[in-house]
């Protein structure tokens, strides 16, 4: 029997995103996969990584939180902040594939160790307030993803180890968190309270010191009542030790942010064909344009493939209802309802994709079909990448 004809995954007139042209371009050295949580950014990044490597690029993929089976398929059996070679990749075209999982606390520790003398670094690392900041402060993971990207880029330029870095951004509620985190963390470190707590370490004139001392007594008295003496002491010790690093954080954040605007960087906005995910993708596309950051296009994941509806959803439901009323052929009735659900879901997804395309008619797109199960091995990653690279 001939294969059934399928409705196109993308609306008519949508520019096609040429994945192979993107990953083959030697002028593209960084690809950032962004989107809201749960849309398949990690799978997309890993899939593009293996395809680029097998087409001849020397690739490093930085993942954030891959599913355990996917991590194991790439040889990442435990959290590791160091890029390591992925086995069973075809290197006959001269490419290679390394992969790593971001350890945000380890990355934060590395910054402290690199920017401080050993004694000062140890004071910071042992401080309870620092440990909380480096492990759970809102935006730390996004900031450290950008920090690690900067480190990987510097290593690639120094050693020629990789000529393409693919970044899987953190599974944030909002895709914009990736761009906003450095500013948010910098605002916290530069905030009025932090400056006030660090003021004694910065020094002042005799009269200014008296005024500062009186002001600090009032502030610390209030804070002691609110958070306790030991917590305040830990906070003041942390600020005093960390004071010299504030400028370094801002400079690195600014440098990495500038890298995201560089001509050799491309953003791929990843979304599922769902209302919230595509709305988030639309916000992100507009933000990238406002920040002059280079957008490659949209990746639409888990698209329901729908056969050309020779049997419409309405006809299938009506037939199933008649069978149910007659209490006949329950299996056939169930299959008719499944067919109707599939057609209706596919049509709904197409309407949502059409809405995005109408709002952003110049954004190229590629779609990957919904698979029967999770991607958990290299062959699954190759299948996803091949689907993205072969658009009708």
Residue 228 has pLDDT above 60, yes or no: no
Residue 283 lies in a domain: yes
Residue 372, domain CATH: 3.40.50.300
Q: Residue 1 has what pLDDT?
A: 35
Residue 115 has pLDDT above 50, yes or no: yes
Residue 13 lies in a domain: no
167-194 pLDDT per residue, tens: 988 876 666 777 776 666 655 555 444 5
Handedness of CA 220, 226, 227, 228 (dihedral sign): positive
**Six token digits for residue 181:** 């985190």
Between 66-75, 114-123, 192-201, 364-373, the lowest mean confidence (pLDDT) is in: 192-201
| Averaged pLDDT of the chain | 76
Residue 322 lies in a domain: no
Q: Domain total for the chain?
A: 1
127-138 pLDDT per residue, tens: 777 777 777 666
Residue 241 lies in a domain: no
Q: Residue 125 has what pLDDT?
A: 85
Between 322 and 280, the higher pLDDT residue: 280
Residue 203 lies in a domain: no
Residue 303's DSSP bridge partners are 369
Residue 199 lies in a domain: no
Residue 254 lies in a domain: yes
Spatial separation of the C-alpha atoms in residues 295 and 301, rounded to whole Å: 17
Between 41-45, 133-137, 190-194, 218-222, the lowest mean confidence (pLDDT) is in: 218-222
Residue 161 has pLDDT above 60, yes or no: yes
The neighbour count for residue 359, using CB atoms within 10 Å, is 13
**pLDDT band, very low/low/confident/very high, at 205 (cuts 50, 70, 90):** very low
Determine the average pLDDT of the residues in 219-237.
48
6-39 pLDDT per residue, tens: 445 677 778 999 999 999 999 999 999 988 888 8
Q: Residue 345 has what pLDDT?
A: 67
Q: Residue 121 has what pLDDT?
A: 83
Range of the domain at 131: 19-194+250-309+352-389
**Six token digits for residue 357:** 């395309």
Residue 209 lies in a domain: no
């Amino acid at each position: 029997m001939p294969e059934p004809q399928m409705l196109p995954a993308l609306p008519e007139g949508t520019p096609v995103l040429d994945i192979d042209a993107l990953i083959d371009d030697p002028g593209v050295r960084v690809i950032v996969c962004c989107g809201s949580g749960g849309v398949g950014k990690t799978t997309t990044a890993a899939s593009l990584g293996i395809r680029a490597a097998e087409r001849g690029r020397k690739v490093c993929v930085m993942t954030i939180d891959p599913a355990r089976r996917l991590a194991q398929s790439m040889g990442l059996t435990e959290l590791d902040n160091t890029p390591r070679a992925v086995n069973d990749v075809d290197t006959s075209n001269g490419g290679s594939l390394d992969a790593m999982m971001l350890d945000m606390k380890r990355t934060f520790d590395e910054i402290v160790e690199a920017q401080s003398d050993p004694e000062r670094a140890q004071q910071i690392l042992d401080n309870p307030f620092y440990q909380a900041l480096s492990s759970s402060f809102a935006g730390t993971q996004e900031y450290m993803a950008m920090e690690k990207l900067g480190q990987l880029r510097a290593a690639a330029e120094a050693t020629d180890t990789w000529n393409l870095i693919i970044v899987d951004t953190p599974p944030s509620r909002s895709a914009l968190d990736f761009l906003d985190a450095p500013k948010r963390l910098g605002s916290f470190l530069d905030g009025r309270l932090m400056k006030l707590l660090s003021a004694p370490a910065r020094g002042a004139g005799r009269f200014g010191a008296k005024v500062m001392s009186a002001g600090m007594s009032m502030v610390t008295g209030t804070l002691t009542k609110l958070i306790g003496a030991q917590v305040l002491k830990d906070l003041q010790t942390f600020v005093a030790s960390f004071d010299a690093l504030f400028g370094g954080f801002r400079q690195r954040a600014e440098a990495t942010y500038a890298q995201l605007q560089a001509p050799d960087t491309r953003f791929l906005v990843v979304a599922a064909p769902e209302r919230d995910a595509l709305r988030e993708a639309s916000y992100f596309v507009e933000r990238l344009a406002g920040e002059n950051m280079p957008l490659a296009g949209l990746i639409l994941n888990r698209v329901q493939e729908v056969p050309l509806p020779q049997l419409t959803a309405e006809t299938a439901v009506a037939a199933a209802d008649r069978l149910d009323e007659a209490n006949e052929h329950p299996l056939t009735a169930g299959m008719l309802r499944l067919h109707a659900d599939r057609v209706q879901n596919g049509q709904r997804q197409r309407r949502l994709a059409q809405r995005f395309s109408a709002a952003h008619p110049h954004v190229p797109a590629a779609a990957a079909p919904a698979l029967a199960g999770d991607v958990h091995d290299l062959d699954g990653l190759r299948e996803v990448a091949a689907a993205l690279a072969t658009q009708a």
